[in-house]
Amino acid sequence: MDSLVKAFAPDEEPPPLSEADTLRSYGAELPSSGSDQASAKPNAVLAYLQHREILVPSYVAFVVKSLRNLDASTLTIDLAFTLVVRINFGGLPHELTRELTDSIAFRFNESPMNIDPEHTDTRWKGSLFVMTMRIVLSHVVFTGDNFDYGMWKAFPFDEPRLAFRLEFTSHTIEAGALKGWKVRYNVHGHLGTPAQRPLLSEIERVRPMMSFKTNADGLPAFDCKMEELAVTFTAERKAKDGVTFIYFPVVTFVIPLFRHPGTPLRGMVFPLMVTDMGIVMTHFMSPLKYEERTATLVTVLLALFAFLNFARSLLPDVPVATWLDKQIFRSVAMSLIGMLETLLCKYEYVGYTLLDDNRLQLDGYYPSQWNFAGQPLSGSQTVSRVVRCLLLAIQAILMLLTCGEILFAMRAYQKQLARSSEMALKSSQTEMKKRSTDFDASAFGWPMDSKTAADVAVRATTRPQFKRRSRSYRSQSFSDGEVVGV
Burial letters for 32-56: b for 16+ Cβ neighbours within 10 Å, e otherwise?
eebeebeeeeebbbbbbeebebbbb
pTM, rounded to two decimals: 0.76
Q: Could you tell me the maximum CA-CA distance found in the chain, to the nearest angstrom?
A: 144
Instruction: Write the DSSP symbol of residue 186.
Output: E
Q: Angle CA(385)–CA(387)–CA(393) in degrees, nearest 5?
A: 105
| C-alpha radius of gyration, the chain, whole number | 34
Domains and CATH numbers, the chain: 21-260+434-485 (2.70.170.10), 262-416 (1.20.58.390)
State the pLDDT at residue 245.
Answer: 82
State the pLDDT at residue 161.
Answer: 87
Neighbour count for residue 225 (Cβ, 10 Å): 17
Q: Which residues of the chain have pLDDT under 70?
A: 1-17, 32-40, 144-148, 287, 316, 348-378, 426-438, 448-486
State the pLDDT at residue 17.
Answer: 65
Segment 255-304, tens digit of pLDDT: 999 998 888 888 888 888 888 888 888 888 776 777 888 888 888 888 88
**What are the beta bridge partners of residue 241?**
none
Neighbour count for residue 114 (Cβ, 10 Å): 10
State the pLDDT at residue 373.
Answer: 42
